[in-house]
Amino acid sequence: MTVKTLIVIPARYGSTRFPGKPLAAIAGKSMLERVAAQAAAAAATRGDTAFVVATDDQRILDHCTEIDVPAVMTDPAAPSGSDRALAAAEAFSPDCAAIINLQGDAPFTPVRYITAIADAVATGDCDAATPCIQLDWDALDALRAEKQTTPHSGTTCVVDKGGRALWFSKAIIPAIRNETTLRKETTLSPVLRHVGLYGFTRSALEQFNAAPTSRYEKLEGLEQLRMLENAMTVRCVMVEPAAISTPGVDTPEDLARLEQLIAERGDPGVIH
């Protein structure tokens, strides 16, 4: 099979808040095994797509062998997941045209999110693609409440009429005038919540990694702003909310909450 799109799962062992988290068990399966299952299902759906784990630690490489998942070792000094993704592509599939960066700590990323951004990048009319969810009013209220205690959680974005990203922010954008009237007219708010999953053309990922940290990227703590500040075209793909919605597992407490959700709702296995 000729691989046109490669899904890369960066998986570092070292984590300040949660060392070894790719190997942590969630209801009997490692986090990495769950992410790999989502990647495998997405690859099988598209046909010209493969996946690989990119790691910097022999323990994770050994675990990939145990669960029969392809993996490559990358430089521990790689500064980011995007650098690790490009290095893995060069080692595993040097001719692929597109690279999906699927976070190794996001075990419930739906397959449809992965395939949607892969399809968007394959059209050739953008440098990168990423999913967004249009929030209903209840979800917007919940996001506002969340930001009262954790102001830098949750990223929102605004797009043009063709779906091209205009801006991303940790603030809730856009500001909404006449909100009371809008709530009566529609069930959906105008706020788009960003999902941290990215697809790049190979050349765009090379350009992104070569560019220095940008001004607003540094201020907001959002690497996607480096793309916009360097005039890259980022396509926002609208997706439906996931049944189990979590941006990622950063702490043991996050993992415990996921296990509680599985106990309440059942283990979803591969999520489409």
pLDDT tens-place values along the chain, 272 residues long: 688 999 999 998 877 778 888 999 988 899 999 999 999 999 999 989 999 999 999 999 999 999 999 999 998 888 888 898 999 999 999 999 999 999 888 888 999 999 999 999 999 999 999 999 999 999 999 999 989 988 988 899 999 999 999 999 999 999 999 999 999 999 999 999 999 999 999 999 999 999 999 999 999 999 999 999 999 999 999 999 987 766 677 788 888 888 888 888 888 778 88
Residue 258 within any structural domain of the chain: no
Any idea what DSSP says for residue 257?
H
Q: Which residue is listed with tokens 């990215």?
A: 198
- How many domains does the chain fold into? 2
Q: Are residues 77 and 132 in the same domain?
A: no
CA 145/CA 149 separation, integer angstroms:
7
Residue 102 within any structural domain of the chain: yes
Any idea what DSSP says for residue 80?
S
Residue 61 neighbours by CB under 8 Å, 6+ apart: 55, 71, 73
Residue 200 neighbours by CB under 8 Å, 6+ apart: 82, 98, 99, 100, 101, 121, 127, 128, 208
Residue 116 within any structural domain of the chain: no
Q: Report the CATH number at residue 96.
A: 3.90.550.10
Any idea what DSSP says for residue 19?
T
Q: Which domain holds residue 131?
A: 125-241
CA atoms within 13 A on the CB side of 229: 17
pTM of the model: 0.93
Residue 118 within any structural domain of the chain: no
Closest CA to 7 of 76, 96, 75: 96
Q: What is the pLDDT, as a whole number, of residue 247?
A: 61
Any idea what DSSP says for residue 204?
H
Q: What is the pLDDT, as a whole number, of residue 78?
A: 82
Closest CA to 36 of 19, 55, 17: 55
CA 231/CA 233 separation, integer angstroms:
7
Residue 190 neighbours by CB under 8 Å, 6+ apart: 134, 174, 176, 182
Q: What is the pLDDT, as a whole number, of residue 246?
A: 65
Q: Are residues 181 and 79 in the same domain?
A: no
Residue 204 within any structural domain of the chain: yes
Burial code (b: 16+ CB inside 10 Å, e: under 16) for 105-117 equals: bbbbbbbbbbbbb
Of the residues 54, 75, 110, which one is the last residue of a structural domain? 110
Residue 272 within any structural domain of the chain: no
